[in-house]
């Protein structure tokens, strides 16, 4: 084979390899740039979400205080709550002790203890729309 063809082929391949390496370097730089921009945008989104939540919390505190001090009406407080996306209701946990006094008719051949133990005290229901969660437990039963 002619030496010129071999040199031309080698030179062509070296040129192609150089062009590919440049292309890969540009692609890598572009990927890095996109990753940095994506990270920057994500940080901006998290920052904006935090600021929005802080504004919502501050508006809720202000609205609740102003409403309780009768500086604004309930209608205005409800409108502010709707616009800002918070609820005017407070959620509180209350521990309540309930005492049951039962009068049982126990046949003379029945055991009082077993009758009382068969009563499901935890299934007692309360009719209130304001109770969102209810749990019950029985600590002891006195005879």
Rounded Cα distance, 117 and 93, in Å: 29
pLDDT at 93: 79
What are the residue boundaries of the structural domains of the chain, listed by start? 3-84
For 59, how many CA atoms within 13 A lie in the half-sphere containing its CB?
18
What pTM does this model have? Answer: 0.47
Which whole number is the average pLDDT over 95-111?
A: 75
Return the percentage of the chain with pLDDT > 90, whole number. Answer: 47
pLDDT digits (tens, 9 = 90+) for 49-71: 999 999 999 999 999 999 999 99
pLDDT at 129: 60
Q: What is the mean pLDDT of residues 104-115?
A: 80
Cα within 13 Å of Cα(47), Cβ side? 6
So what's the pLDDT on residue 90?
77
């Amino acid at each position: 084979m002619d030496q010129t063809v071999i040199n031309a082929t080698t030179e062509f391949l070296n040129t192609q390899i150089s062009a590919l390496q440049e292309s890969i370097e540009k692609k890598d730089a572009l990927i890095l740039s996109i990753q940095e921009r994506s990270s920057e945008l994500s940080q901006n989104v998290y920052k904006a979400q935090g600021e929005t939540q802080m504004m919502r919390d501050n508006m809720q505190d202000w609205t609740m205080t102003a409403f309780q001090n009768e500086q604004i009406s309930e209608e205005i407080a409800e409108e502010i709550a709707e616009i800002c996306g918070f609820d005017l209701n407070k959620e509180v946990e209350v521990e309540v002790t309930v005492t049951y006094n039962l009068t049982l008719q126990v046949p003379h051949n029945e055991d009082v203890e077993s009758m009382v133990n068969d009563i499901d005290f935890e299934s007692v229901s309360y009719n209130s729309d304001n109770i969102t969660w209810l749990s019950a437990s029985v600590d002891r039963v006195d005879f």
